[in-house]
Structure 1
Amino acid sequence: MLHPTSIVPDTMEAYLPQVSVRSQLIYSIILTALLVLLCALPIVHVDVSVQSAGIIRPVGERNEIRPLVAGIVEKIRVRENQSVQAGDTLLQLKTDVVDTQLRSLRQQMAEKDAFIADISKLVRLRETTVLQAPALSSALYAQQYAQFRFQQQDRLAQRRKLQSELNVSRTLYAGRVISRIENQDKEYALQKLLNESRLQVENQLSQWQADLNMHRVALAELQTKEKQALQERRLYTLLAPVPGAVQQLAGKYPGSYVQVGEALGQISPNSALIAECYVTPKDIGQLRPGMKARFQIDAFDYNQWGMLEGKILEVAKDFTMLNDQPVFKVTCQLNQGHLSLPNGYQGRLKKGMTLRGRFMLAKRSLWQLLYDKADDWMNPTQFNR
């Protein structure tokens, strides 16, 4: 191509011969850097990890406060966010009905105890000792014994009378004043009276023994009912099942009525803190218990506070839905319960804090990572799926 003479000095053809390359330092540096970078690709390894959102929660689940019986509130012993120990009283329901039942049962038990004590003395009596009155405390068996003793005293008087008549009859019979039959009649009358007296004693003792067995059975039944009533009475006192903090108390006051199973609040347990992360299905495949993890707490700037170390404790075997997305729960142990600034100030972890979990899968070389990226971009099978 021909140029006008006036512009020839400004053309490329005229400029290039004037350029002289004195040094190729920059070019050499760039080329060397590229070569070093290429050589380093299979040597330099970096950590490969997956990330997921999560939350800090206690090992134990929250315990709901629900009464097992219906009743009227008598006292409320706790307030919102109050710390409690296992066994502390949370709420007391009125126990008037159960208390009345217990008083009635105990009165019946005291009566049965008195009956058993008296009958135990009576059944030890024998024919020769029935008139030796034992000390009795119950009116019922004191009356029975008094009547029985009166009958025995009456028979004793009859026996003495018949014995005297028999003695006279034997004297008369020996003198042949009366016949043998008349004497035998006197002997028969006395023996009949003795047999009747002995039978009455045996029958009465048998009746008292039957009463003793009956009262013992009745006492055992009353004791069983008392135990049941005491167990029911304990249900009217709501106790803290675990140590923790009371939360979400229902608006109940003394005099309020509560239903069986009504939610009255929750206890957040004071157990150790763990991290619960929600991992997507595409990242869950390589996670397993024992893998190391690091946690970035959202409430603390990790550039200043750093990150927490930990490990995976458990990987859920089934997914759960979170915000209409399937996720797997991954439970992780935290190596410590606080973060620290360089000056030593500590920030304590609290239940409910959100975090980002990073799970270390493997160490991969830069060459492997570059190959994986290129494979994702260029492998035609990726587009056929």
Structure 2
Amino acid sequence: MERTQVGIIGAGPAGLLLSHLLALAGVESVVVELRSREHCEQRQRAGLLEHGTVATLRAAGLAGRLDAQSVEHGGIYLQYAGERHHLDFRDLVDRTVTIYAQTEIVKDLIAARLAAGQRLDFSVSATAVSDLDGPRPVLRYVDASGAARAIACDVIAGCDGFHGISRAAVPDVVAYERVYPFSWLGIIADVAPSTDELIYAHHPDGFALHSIRTPHVSRLYLQVPADDAIEAWSDERIWENLQRRFALPGWTLREGPVREKAITPMRSFVSSPMRHGRLFLAGDAAHIVPPTGAKGLNLAVSDVALLAPALIAWLRDGDPSLADAYPAAALRRVWRATHFSWWMTRMLHPLPGDPFTTQLQLAQLRYVTTSRPAATTLAENYTGVAPA
């Protein structure tokens, strides 16, 4: 049987960043991933980084390309009732957010791990964990060559997402879930953004978001019914709806070729506890948030920023106190972000046939855009609340 200190399941941002931070402190790890390296480096996910996420990546020596290629944003636009209002984060909380795609973070992390000679096993199958209550939990899998592997670990970190095996290995888990009655249709378009900062638009036909991927690529979203199929949405229909929901006198939405499009269900999900024995959960393995508040990737980084020093203190220095405190500390941050994501989602997505809710949403939007304390609360949460 092979041996390592930390077996990490999942080569997304959480698993890769955890491996990187552990290695900086001399703690060894093995990362295993069901998908290929190419898939991990190409799958499109979030791209908005909180102030603290950027600071974490910089402190870890991972910000070379981020600093060269990212775009810093000092606020967002809220659009409703035919008006567009700017919230200035620098003025409100003296913080910013950064646009840098998750795919690029994954590329940076994989390159850093391989350059340091760390072990990453892609395209594995049949992952399983056992002996989680003992001193040497075991991570088993079949590698890309078809060979069965068994690794005795001091700790296993489950960073394998919502559909991974890790959460299922936690007995007596309590799951909190909210499924929303709509989805997001997202596109990546080869066209320069029509805005300098993100636009969140509340419209009678549904929510729309204009995000930015690069100076030459736009990311846009539409609220659609939960049961819609992507085949029902031609490029022409998508642009027609985007034009209508973002329309303002004197402002033009640029159109361009649609490179990718997909529909994503909307849900909030929190799993508790985030630890069982020597198995620790991080990232989407423990929680999912609707993308309205841009918290998914940032929560994964926040989890790891707590978990890495906890494991270092335990495995290198013999102090388990931070590891024991990790589940409660992580969940405090998770629930704050879950509430903010739920609040943003409820404020911005009209429900067909529910004019009462629509009027409540408009009242909340007017309050946020006219009250400095209300705007400050949004800005503080959007740019990132530090773990308590």
* TM-score category (smaller protein): under 0.3
Query: Which protein has greater RCO, CA pairs closer than 8 Å, 6+ apart?
Result: 1
**Higher gyration radius (CA):** 1
The two structures have a TM-score, normalised by structure 2, of 0.20
TM-score scaled by structure 1?
Answer: 0.20
